[in-house]
Amino acid sequence: MLSFFGINLSAASIKDVDCKTFSKLITAPGVQLVDCRTAEEYAEGHIEGAILIDYKLSDFREQALGTLDKSRNVAIYCRSGRRSRAAAEILAAEGYTLFNLQGGILSWTEEGYPITTNTNDMARKNFGVKTYLYPQPVLIIGTYDEDGTPDAMNAAWGGISESNRISICISEDHKTTKNLLQTKAFTVSVGTKSQMVACDYVGIVSGNDVPDKFARAGWHATKSTFVNAPLIDELPLAIECKLIDYNPETCILQGEIVNVAACECILGEDGKIDPAKLEAISYDPVHHKYLVIGEAMGNAFSDGKQLK
């Protein structure tokens, strides 16, 4: 029989303790303090040093196993003690030794013990190798085929790679790839809120199968005056590019930016592009949604000077 702070317990057990005992337990070396409430509850106030592992999440067990050391005791709490007790039973079955706070954080605060709103102790969930980056642009690549028919496709993995260069990841089997290798040119338009459905359409339909998908999207083309590629009339902001190179092994396309063309309808009073008028959209790779890029909230290369 093991003893910890005068409490007799066996390995892989649960012991309900009062606030006074709990406050001593969590100061002991090696004890892992767990808050099993929701992230919203945690942010409103939690015991300092607590790791957040939400019991209500479907993968609670997996998160706990990936975060907590079985060789060390676990002190766990929730709002009233019910969720933490249920969570403790799951963990005890996995071989953990736990101390559950009776009455939860409600009793803790009622008895005058401190809490904090610092969220630095929130646990991170590991997702492995994923393309989870925000924001991801909705880039519409425009090209002409050998007959001069315009084509377009939706790409999310791309961006500015030098002051006069754009890089995009597209596979070699796309109609777009075949086109730009022939014409040595392409345009990159920014997907917008008003054209979201059409932008999605050109991303799920292949030009190899539907040669007139550009027209089916309801779009109209005006030939660029700088490169042999189409500007999409319905998308007001486009980058016009000359092909630099394409690597079929890495699927990386690189283009030289020769011009940026913007419809006057998205310009502000200062003659510059107004993001509020553009209403650009981004791609959410986790939930497979499109998001409208939001409001201005700071000044680049300026606000950070406050910390100098």
Phi, psi of 262 (to 5 degrees): -130, 130
4 pLDDT exceeds 70?
A: no
The structural domain count of the chain equals 2
CB 118 within 8 A of CB 99: no
Q: Please report how the helices 60-67 and 82-92 are oriented relative to each other, as an axis angle in degrees rounded to 10.
A: 70
Q: Would residue 121 count as lying in a domain?
A: no
**Is residue 148 located within the same domain as residue 289?**
yes
Residues 185 and 265 in one domain: yes
* Rg of the Cα atoms in the chain: 28
pLDDT at residue 120, rounded to an integer: 74
Residue 115 domain flag: no
Residue 12's pLDDT band, with cuts at 50, 70 and 90, is low
Range of the domain at 99: 2-110
Strand order in the sheet with 136-137: 136-137, 281-284, 289-292
Separation in Å, CA 191 to CA 49, 81, 172, 205, 222: 44, 49, 22, 16, 17
H/E segment holding residue 154: strand 150-155
CATH number, domain containing residue 81: 3.40.250.10
- Do 212 and 288 fall into the same domain? yes
Residue 291, CA distances (Å) to 127, 170, 235, 271, 280 in order: 22, 22, 17, 26, 9
167-172 long-range contacts (CB < 8 A, ≥24 apart) are: 167/252, 167/253, 167/254, 167/255, 168/139, 168/141, 168/252, 168/253, 168/255, 169/250, 169/251, 169/252, 169/253, 170/141, 170/251, 170/253, 171/251, 172/246, 172/248, 172/251
Residue 128 covered by a domain: no
> What CATH number does the domain containing 237 carry?
2.30.110.10
CA distances from 216 to 25, 138, 230 (A): 67, 19, 16
pTM of the model: 0.71
Percent of the chain residues topping a pLDDT of 90: 90
CA-nearest of 186, 176, 193 to 234 is 193
* Average pLDDT rounded to a whole number, residues 58-84: 95
The pLDDT of 234-253, averaged and rounded, is 97
Q: Which residue has the higher pLDDT, 126 or 186?
A: 186
Whether the CB-CB separation of 158 and 143 falls below 8 Å is answered with no
**DSSP reduced 3-state for 184:** coil
Q: Is residue 131 part of a domain?
A: no
The amino acid at residue 174 is: H
Mean pLDDT value across the chain: 93
Residue range 108-164, pLDDT digits in tens: 999 999 999 987 766 667 778 899 999 999 999 999 999 999 999 999 999 999 999
pLDDT in tens, 99-113: 999 999 999 999 999
Integer Cα distance of 211 and 221 in angstroms: 15
Asked if 13 and 104 sit in the same domain, the reply is yes
Tell me whether residue 47 is in a domain. yes
pLDDT over 50 (residue 73): yes
What's the confidence (pLDDT) of residue 127?
78
In a domain, 194, yes or no: yes
Q: Which two tokens stand for residue 127?
A: 């997702």
Q: Is the pLDDT of residue 265 over 70?
A: yes
pLDDT, mean of residues 242-259: 97
Where residue 9 falls among pLDDT bands split at 50, 70, 90? very low
Can you tell me the mean pLDDT for 179-206? 97
Residue 232 CA to its chain's centroid (Å): 29
Residues 278 and 217 in one domain: yes
Assess whether pLDDT exceeds 60 at residue 8: no
Cis peptide before 135 (omega within 30 of 0): yes
- 76 with 143, same domain: the answer is no
DSSP class of 271: S
